[in-house]
Structure 1
Amino acid sequence: MPIPEDVTGEEIDKDVRQELQSLPKGLAEDVAKNLVMVARLIDEDPEGAYGYSKVALRLASRVAAVREAAGFAAYANQKYSEALAEFRAARRMTGNVDLWPVMADCERGLGRPEKALDMAGAPEVSKLDKAGQVEMRLVAAGARRDMDQLDAAIVTLQSPELAAGSVQPWTARLRYAYADALLAAGREAEAREWFAKAAEADKDGSTDASDRLAELDGVEFVDALDEDEDEDENENEGDETPPQPSSEDGEED
């Protein structure tokens, strides 16, 4: 796959670059460039990212960072079985538990929420950092919802991190998930309160909390372009010339 000229491979994280030092220099550069493309495209063009991840995997399948990138690219394309296999491979290589929550979410994607819940109660969770533990809580709540256990999902999300006043990278998503679970359980007033809190914490637009809040408040958004087109149509209708009487009805030249 073609690599844009502005991609040098130097853009990757220094830890990843250090991993690639085990490869010959030219090969390491090629792998790095493909990993940069995965990171660049994964949100806006998941299929493109997946293509670059397969190239990197073909070049350096024994590098943990490559297996991890391939896992995330597969995950972004909802190829959960493939993603889980790559995450497991990366974990075997590093012994790191950081991928535990996304591995559990792959189990959900494969229709195995019970397995995701088993993972949420495993010893590995205690080794996760705070962000990882919050992510695991989100996955566990999602698994409860998969099993139609709405009240259990709500309880799962009730935590010190949810109640904290300070805004952390996970705050908006945690509050949003809680609001969504409340709404699914029919607790609309509480849901509205938490969608508002999620919107307040969501500085980078990672959720659609503001839209959900507006929807609950009965606000309808009108596309300005559509509105202008409607006005033009109305004006044109008003300018139509009324039909003139025919000169053929009994009139002679």
Structure 2
Amino acid sequence: MVAKHLVAAGGLLDLDPERAHEHAKAAMARAGRVAVVREALGIAAYYVEKYDEAVRELRTHRRISGSNDNIALIADAERGRGKPEKALELLKNSEELDLDNDTHTELVIVAAGAKSDLDDIAGARRLIEAEDFTQKPSGGLVRLMAAYSEVLRIDGEPELADKYEELSRRTAKATGTLFGDEMPDLNAGVEIETVEEVEDEPESPEAEESETGESAGEEAADAEAAADSADEAAPELAEAPAAAPKSKTHVSAKELKSVKVTDDEIEAELDEILADAEAGSDSDAITAEADRDQ
């Protein structure tokens, strides 16, 4: 039953986030101490802009599972509830964590957004420029260049911003990833049951015997959630996670077809753009020495 609700929540996340959230809550009511259930509810809450709930559930998932996969999402949810400083603190504390490249990149993008929230555009630009633009083309690189384009536009450099946006889109097509502004495919034929339609299966004697234990587990989950709320007032962010609200990281369910754009073409354009940036600003120079093996 919990699995059915989780599948429904995942399938509806882009198409109907409110229904996805209801399914995630239904799963939570049955298995509140399962890490993946807390994660699903946190992500669904983020999609419906319930950022307090998102932070609480994703932090709980992180504590139960030990996973840092959602650290950028937590940081962006902190931005969503008006606490950009906490997003920046998460980035600072992440230096001690072993994050993979894409997760780190997403966290940097969120932190740059937090800097923008605080009207520190120069700081946002420095955060992104410190990253490696010569990494192997990936979804993280697509997002990084798109975020840099936005910051450049705010900073009054529309021409350079346009170049980075175009390069980001070309990289997205070349790698078969999403740029981020695609619309969900509402005609995808997804048939997901409503929360009411996911009926409980007949309980076995063993299930009845374990009902008492399950209730106790739910009470413990409620107590744990209350503890999370109290944690929010304390500056214990060494274990914090992060992600994205005002500029959603996960946007659509529609897949793009791969376009025949080679890594060499992407590399050449990136070199040209970085050379233009270096020529236009002595203080904000970015050098690109691409060394990609496909």
Which band: TM-score by shorter chain? 0.5 to 0.7
Kindly indicate whether the alpha-carbon contact (under 8 Å) linking 2:145 and 2:165 is maintained by their aligned counterparts in 1.
yes
Aligned to 2:170, the other structure's residue is in SS state: helix
Question: Which structure 1 residue ranges, 5 or more long, are not aligned?
Answer: 1-29, 210-253
Kindly indicate whether the alpha-carbon contact (under 8 Å) linking 1:64 and 1:94 is maintained by their aligned counterparts in 2.
yes
Tell me the distance in 2 between the aligned counterparts of 1:140 and 1:160: 13
Kindly indicate whether the alpha-carbon contact (under 8 Å) linking 1:179 and 1:192 is maintained by their aligned counterparts in 2.
yes
C-alpha change, 1:31 and 1:124, in structure 2 (3 Å) is farther
Tell me the distance in 2 between the aligned counterparts of 1:160 and 1:145: 17
Aligned to 2:139, the other structure's residue is in SS state: coil
RCO (CA 8 Å, sep 6+): is it higher in 1 or 2?
Answer: 2
Residues 212-247 of structure 1 deviation map (CA, whole Å, 9 limit, x = unaligned): xxxxxxxxxxxxxxxxxxxxxxxxxxxxxxxxxxxx
Residue identity (%): 37
- TM-score of the two chains, using structure 2 as the length reference: 0.58
Give the counterpart letter for 1:138 in structure 2.
I
Question: Counterpart in 1 of 2:66?
Answer: 95
Tell me the distance in 2 between the aligned counterparts of 1:58 and 1:137: 34
C-alpha change, 1:208 and 1:97, in structure 2 (3 Å) is closer
**1:198: Cα distance to partner?**
1.0
C-alpha change, 1:159 and 1:124, in structure 2 (3 Å) is closer
Aligned to 1:207, the other structure's residue is in SS state: coil
After superposing the two structures, state which structure 1 stretch, 124-133 or 83-92, moved more.
124-133
Q: RMSD in angstroms over aligned alpha carbons?
A: 1.6
Question: Counterpart in 2 of 1:207?
Answer: 180
Tell me the distance in 2 between the aligned counterparts of 1:124 and 1:73: 28
After superposing the two structures, state which structure 1 stretch, 129-138 or 163-172, moved more.
163-172
Tell me the distance in 2 between the aligned counterparts of 1:131 and 1:74: 23
Q: Report the count of equivalent residues.
A: 179
- TM-score of the two chains, using structure 1 as the length reference: 0.67
Tell me the distance in 2 between the aligned counterparts of 1:169 and 1:95: 24
Tell me the distance in 1 between the aligned counterparts of 2:19 and 2:48: 10
C-alpha change, 1:92 and 1:160, in structure 2 (3 Å) is closer
Give the counterpart letter for 2:56 in structure 1.
A
Kindly indicate whether the alpha-carbon contact (under 8 Å) linking 1:138 and 1:174 is maintained by their aligned counterparts in 2.
yes
> More helix per residue: 1 or 2?
1
Tell me the distance in 2 between the aligned counterparts of 1:123 and 1:185: 27
**1:160: Cα distance to partner?**
4.2
